Amino acid sequence: MNLRLDLAYHGKPFRGFARQPDVRTVQGDVEAALSKLFRSEVTTAAAGRTDAGVHAMGQVMSCAAPDDTDPIKVRDTLNAMLGPDIAVTRAERVEDDFHARFSARSRTYVYALLEGVVPDPFLADTTLWHAEPLDLDALGEASGHLLGPHDFSSFGRVPDPDASSERVLYELRAARDGRIVRIRARANAFIQQMVRSLVGTLVQVGEGKRSPDEIPGILAARDRSAAGPVAPPHGLCLVSVEYDGGWSRPV
């Protein structure tokens, strides 16, 4: 049977999502637990490969499982084995042609910043502290230039030099809730470090260090040095993945 797992995890203990030899990763921990549970080697697919330190609330994985597998027991057993750093929020049997990565229609990330002169130690692992308030109107104007299909070479990289850097950015917006500013980005897919590079550039706009009118030129340059810095990973979270028929979690 084809098994789908929806996951949440805290990124701090891991050297990223994708399995790597000799270091702890989310995929490595999950595959090791599944292999022990099913008593055979398990290989998984995932909707997105989050970087080291990046969190998730709505990551999706898929894998082959024995036909007599009880998804609820899989969920509960994995949570006993993987918690508290990783939580399986849902496990279910899906159609044979479902693939966590290739069946996905879009992914949504949220980057969280904490505004104010006083930091909050209880939010330090999941937000980027920013002492001064950001100009969200300027940030929103800049975001408008980035929507739609573009070559995002200035905002990230692809492992294969022959692969395309074009992606379709459906949504990019910022909202303030008390001291928290959340920058939300949804696209059909993202190249490596794209969201964090977008955030680093938008923060410069919100600080008044760049004009929103600079964004088209940054896109046209197709040069990573044209954009702002890569924002630290700990403020970023993969919140949901969209498939035909629904999302990995409510949005």
User: Where in the chain are the domains?
Assistant: 2-94, 106-247
| Angle, CA of 226, 239 and 181, to the nearest 5° | 60
| Residue 251: per-residue pLDDT | 53
- CA atoms 86, 89, 94, 97: torsion sign: negative
Q: Do domains 2-94 and 106-247 have the same CATH topology?
A: yes
pLDDT at 250: 55
Q: Which CATH architecture has domain 2-94?
A: 2-Layer Sandwich (3.30)
Beta strands in the chain (DSSP E): 2-9, 45-46, 55-64, 86-94, 106-115, 128-130, 148-151, 166-177, 180-187, 236-243, 246-247
Task: Using alpha carbons, list the distances in angstroms from residue 64 to 25, 42, 44.
Answer: 20, 7, 8
Mean pLDDT of the chain: 95
Each residue's pLDDT tens digit, 211-238? 999 999 999 999 999 999 999 999 999 9
Give dist(CA 244, CA 251) in Å, integer. 15
In the prediction, which pLDDT does 162 show?
Answer: 80
Distance of CA 174 to the CA centre of its chain: 16
Residue 51 in tokens: 């970087």
Paired residues of 175 in beta bridges: 182
Separation CA 243–CA 174 (nearest Å): 24
Task: Please report, in tens digits, the pLDDT of each residue of the chain (251 residues total).
Answer: 999 999 999 999 999 999 999 999 999 999 999 999 999 999 999 999 999 999 999 999 999 999 999 999 999 999 999 999 999 999 999 999 999 999 999 999 999 999 999 999 999 999 999 999 999 999 999 999 999 999 999 999 887 778 899 999 999 999 999 999 999 999 999 999 999 999 999 999 999 999 999 999 999 999 999 999 999 999 999 999 999 877 776 55
- Give me the amino acid identity at 229: P
Cα 232 off chain centre by: 13
Q: What is the pLDDT of residue 128?
A: 98
51 is catalytic: yes
Considering 22, 29, 51, 120, which one is annotated as catalytic? 51
**What is the spatial distance between Cα 6 and Cα 39, in angstroms, rounded to a whole number?**
21
- Alpha helix positions (H), the chain: 26-38, 71-82, 136-146, 194-206, 215-221
- Residue 210: how many CB atoms within 10 A of its CB? 19
Is-contact 248 6, C-beta < 8 A? yes
| Class of the CATH domain delimited by 106-247 | alpha beta
CA–CA distance, 50 with 198 (Å, rounded to integer): 16
Read off the amino acid at residue 114: L
Residues 3-31: pLDDT tens digits?
Answer: 999 999 999 999 999 999 999 999 999 99
Alpha-carbon distance of 105 to 76, in angstroms, equals 28
d(Cα 158, Cα 150) in Å, to the nearest integer? Answer: 14
